[in-house]
Structure 1
Amino acid sequence: MTDVNRFTPSDATAAADTVKTAAAEKTKQAKEAVAKAMKSARETATEVAQQTRSFAAEKAKVGAAWTNEKAKVAHHAAEEHPVGMALGAFAIGLGVGFLIARNLD
């Protein structure tokens, strides 16, 4: 067991100064680590946002072209087989309505 009375006031002051210095150094290191982590996170978020923007723009162009093609095909099919398209749309609506009605109970 350590006897507290054997320390002189100068030893206590020196110990307190050492603790303050160590605490200040640890605080400085922690601040630097946080700043570095924030910078890294910011760079990563910027990179991901840029990739997402380019991906979304590319997929929007592909989707628009695909939708336009499919709309033309559906329009031609409707012109060639109007009764078949009407019956098909009715059957799909009936099926979807049945599924919705089942889920409401």
Structure 2
Amino acid sequence: MSKEAAYHAACVRADETRAQLAVSAQAAKARIAPARLKQDAVAKITASALDGVAYAAAKAQQRPVAIGAAAAAFGLFLARRPLAALFGRLYVRFRKQDTDLPEIDDG
């Protein structure tokens, strides 16, 4: 192989390597673009949330009574003030009915 042919082959390899480098740089640039990073983060969060929901649903199917009791306790906890007000009003109402009757019947 002559020196000119070797030089020409080296130039062709250099051009191919330069083109591969440019393609790799574009791919790296596309991977670290803010829109792509945001899209990847949203996809991971969505997948994690769906996995968590599926796991919770599977556990709930295994223990329906425990889940029902926990949900009822949580519901009562959230409604504690309205329930306390209701029972307070009922207590006062029943207490008033008892005191309205006279203790001594003069009749």
TM range (shorter): 0.3 to 0.5
Q: Which has the higher helix share?
A: 1
Return the TM-score normalized by structure 1.
0.40
Structure number, greater radius of gyration: 2
Structure ranking higher on relative contact order (CA contacts 8 Å, 6+ apart)? 1
